[in-house]
Chain A
Amino acid sequence: MMLSKKSAKVFFFGGTIVTFAMFLVMSFMTLTNEVPKRTHEENLSAEVIAGKKIWEENNCMGCHTIMGEGGYYAPELTKVYDRRGEGFIKAVLQSPVPWQPRGRKMVAYNMNDTDAANMIAFLKWVGEMDLNGFPPEPDYKSTKNNKK
């Protein structure tokens, strides 16, 4: 065989170093140029950050996805603020019994007004991000649903 072990080794280390260097440069540019603009970092208020804490402490991501990441058991929440509005979400979060209009149970968080407001601020902030067109607009609208 023509390929020697030594050249295979160079291929591995060389390829790794080159692509890793490219990766680091792209990551740096993303974090300094793109993310602040696309996520509207200026809108990261104390409420939004408090909302993110609640999001993490309760592992909402274990049932829901946000930006397409999480569990596949419950609705995608990236655009939920647009889709349902503040009052609806507040009712969900403050429900003392598991929220389940379609039969599948959410945890009953029974949140107080502050927590619910912070959570909503977080969801609103996420909904305003520029996500390259995710989630996609459906081609058709079902007559049965109440999406906007």
Chain B
Amino acid sequence: MKYKSQKIAYYFFALALLLLVLQIVYGFIMGFARVGYDGLHEFIPFNTARAVHTNLLVVWLLTGFMGAAYYIIPEEAEKELVSVKLAYVQLISLALVGVTAIVGYHFNYWEGRKFLEIPRPLDYLVVVNVLLFLGLILATLFKGKKRTTTAMVLTMGLVFAALLYLPGMIWFDNQTIDSFFRWWVVHLWVEGVWELILGGILAFLLIKLTGVDREVIEKWLYVIIGLTFISGIIGTGHHYYFIGTGKIWIILGGIFSALEPFAFLAMVFFTIGMYRKGEKKHPNKIALFWTVGTAVVSFLGAGMLGLAHTLPAVNRYTHGTLVTAMHGHLAFWGAYAMIVFAFISYVMPNLTGRKLYESRNGKLAFWLSNIGMFGMTAAFGVAGVAQVYLERKMGLEFGDVQKDIQVHFYVLIACATMFLTGVTYFIIEFLKYGKPNDEAIVEDNTVE
């Protein structure tokens, strides 16, 4: 690392990994409930487990993005972060709001709006927290020496993500309108502005890992995020087919959302292309694995498995079934979890001055978690397709079908165990690096 203040990133990553472990615990609670072991039902009914599982996912990913921004922005802007103290305040208040929300879910303190269960009073605290974060990032960027495209794209993604949170805070009496604006948050996040964050982090990693000229990388970054927005904004329509919003979305939502995979495909060509083009190879192979992995797995999970159910004729049958859960897992993992893992793998040697990237554990972490997650995706997928045929084609009862597909959830639990083993290896590596220290400060971490 180049600036002392970049060390703050470490604490964000530590929090992110802690919340990830908790997320997985709640995933197992649901997995077991689905095979009949619902002993915790009294205290943690399925809806509580689900809200905790998905909210922890969003919070740990955002924590990871924030950590990445605190590392990237000083380096790109060539200026120390304006206030490290306030960054700690932001970290601690983020953790407190997050934990309060999660605890509240166990006591019926929530709003039943999928992914946005945080009650409104806490929403205001989230807003304050995010404003503090953005203030620090923007002040550093605009007082700094440089405003690179990479830094601007990352910052734009973060600012837009904050703005898009707001429509989700309005109450509507009409369930359809409620849902309409819920997608402005959920869809426009993951298939819109989060891809700017993803693209910004990816560009930064490629610049550092391949040594390819910044101008070339940033040019393609614009192309990728251009494809993202052009397809993804109107692509929101793939959530408006069947919620009482009109036929226009069936046509335009269908067409535009079917184009969304191109942005992910472009990301694959971009990443592999830059890797090939880079003449010097960075010794941190594990970071490279995760970086290339992000592009490939997000294309499969978001692009291909998204395409699989985005056409209206298909979605009419798969809408709101385990097919959606299949796609949700691999998409979130490939695009957003893996980019955070890639970034952590890249920065840990820089933050601590220890070069542990040759280890076997690092590779085990990569392969076990990915193979485990593919297995989980397959289990959800098989269960989902069977559910669609039996329930929506053959007209069997929901509850009877669930018994028929129960066996796939044993497979899910087995694969999830493998996944968790991989994540555990990753965390062991993280802990082995130890704390960041000022001795690790160097002029430039780009590959020589």
A interface residues (Cβ-Cβ under 8 A, vs B): 1, 3-5, 8-9, 11-12, 15-16, 18-20, 22-23, 26-27, 29-31, 33-35, 38-39, 41, 44, 49, 52, 55-63, 65-76, 98, 101-105, 107, 122, 126, 129-136, 138-142, 144-147
Cα–Cα distance between A138 and B390 once the two chains are bound (Å): 9
Q: Could you say which residues of chain A place their CB within 8 Å of the CB of B317?
A: 136
Report if B97 contacts A (CB, 8 A).
Answer: no
**Which listed residue (B45, B219, B250, B321) contacts A72, Cβ 8 A?**
B321
Q: Check A138–B176 contact: CB distance below 8 A.
A: no
Q: Could you say which residues of chain B place their CB within 8 Å of the CB of A73?
A: 30, 33-34, 46-47, 50
With A31-B177, A102-B400, A136-B317 already in contact, the answer to whether A20 and B249 are too (CB < 8 A) is no
Q: Could you say which residues of chain B place their CB within 8 Å of the CB of A130?
A: 244
Q: Check A39–B176 contact: CB distance below 8 A.
A: yes
Q: Check B240–A71 contact: CB distance below 8 A.
A: no
Chain B binding surface, main DSSP class: helix
Q: Could you say which residues of chain B place their CB within 8 Å of the CB of A11?
A: 222-223, 226
Cα–Cα distance between A22 and B395 once the two chains are bound (Å): 39
Report if B310 contacts A (CB, 8 A).
Answer: no
B37-57 vs A, CB cutoff 8 Å, 1 = contact: the mask equals 010010001111011000000
Cα–Cα distance between A105 and B403 once the two chains are bound (Å): 13
Q: Could you say which residues of chain B place their CB within 8 Å of the CB of A44?
A: 173-174
Closest residue of A by beta carbon distance from B324: A72
Q: Could you say which residues of chain A place their CB within 8 Å of the CB of B316?
A: 132-134, 136
Q: Check A142–B397 contact: CB distance below 8 A.
A: yes
**Contacts A/B (CB < 8 Å), 22 sampled:** A3-B223, A5-B218, A12-B222, A15-B226, A16-B230, A18-B230, A23-B234, A31-B180, A35-B174, A35-B244, A38-B244, A38-B246, A39-B175, A63-B47, A72-B325, A105-B45, A131-B244, A134-B242, A134-B319, A136-B317, A142-B397, A144-B400
Q: Check B47–A107 contact: CB distance below 8 A.
A: yes
**Which listed residue (A59, A98, A133) contacts B117, Cβ 8 A?**
A59
Cα–Cα distance between A141 and B215 once the two chains are bound (Å): 61
Q: Check B114–A69 contact: CB distance below 8 A.
A: yes
Closest residue of A by beta carbon distance from B41: A105
Cα–Cα distance between A38 and B395 once the two chains are bound (Å): 26
Q: Check B108–A34 contact: CB distance below 8 A.
A: no
Cα–Cα distance between A3 and B384 once the two chains are bound (Å): 43
- Among A49, A101, A105, which residue has the most Cβ atoms of chain B within 10 A? A105
Q: Could you say which residues of chain A place their CB within 8 Å of the CB of B237?
A: 26
**Which listed residue (A8, A29, A70, A146) contacts B114, Cβ 8 A?**
A70
Closest residue of A by beta carbon distance from B231: A19
B interface residues (Cβ-Cβ under 8 A, vs A): 30, 33-34, 36, 38, 41, 45-48, 50-51, 108, 110-114, 117, 149, 173-177, 179-180, 215-216, 218-220, 222-223, 225-226, 229-230, 233-234, 236-237, 240-250, 252, 256, 316-317, 319-322, 324-325, 391-400, 402-403
**Which listed residue (B34, B174, B229) contacts A39, Cβ 8 A?**
B174
**Which listed residue (B175, B245, B392) contacts A135, Cβ 8 A?**
B392
Closest residue of B by beta carbon distance from A146: B397
Cα–Cα distance between A29 and B48 once the two chains are bound (Å): 36
Q: Check B175–A52 contact: CB distance below 8 A.
A: yes
Q: Could you say which residues of chain B place their CB within 8 Å of the CB of A27?
A: 180
Closest residue of B by beta carbon distance from A3: B219
Q: Check A56–B243 contact: CB distance below 8 A.
A: no
Q: Check A15–B234 contact: CB distance below 8 A.
A: no
Cα–Cα distance between A119 and B191 once the two chains are bound (Å): 34
Q: Check A19–B234 contact: CB distance below 8 A.
A: yes
With A38-B244, A62-B50, A105-B41 already in contact, the answer to whether A138 and B112 are too (CB < 8 A) is no
- 17 new A-B contacts, CB < 8 A, other than A12-B225, A67-B320, A145-B400, are A3-B223, A8-B223, A19-B229, A19-B256, A30-B245, A35-B174, A62-B47, A62-B112, A66-B175, A67-B175, A69-B243, A71-B114, A104-B38, A133-B316, A134-B241, A136-B316, A144-B396
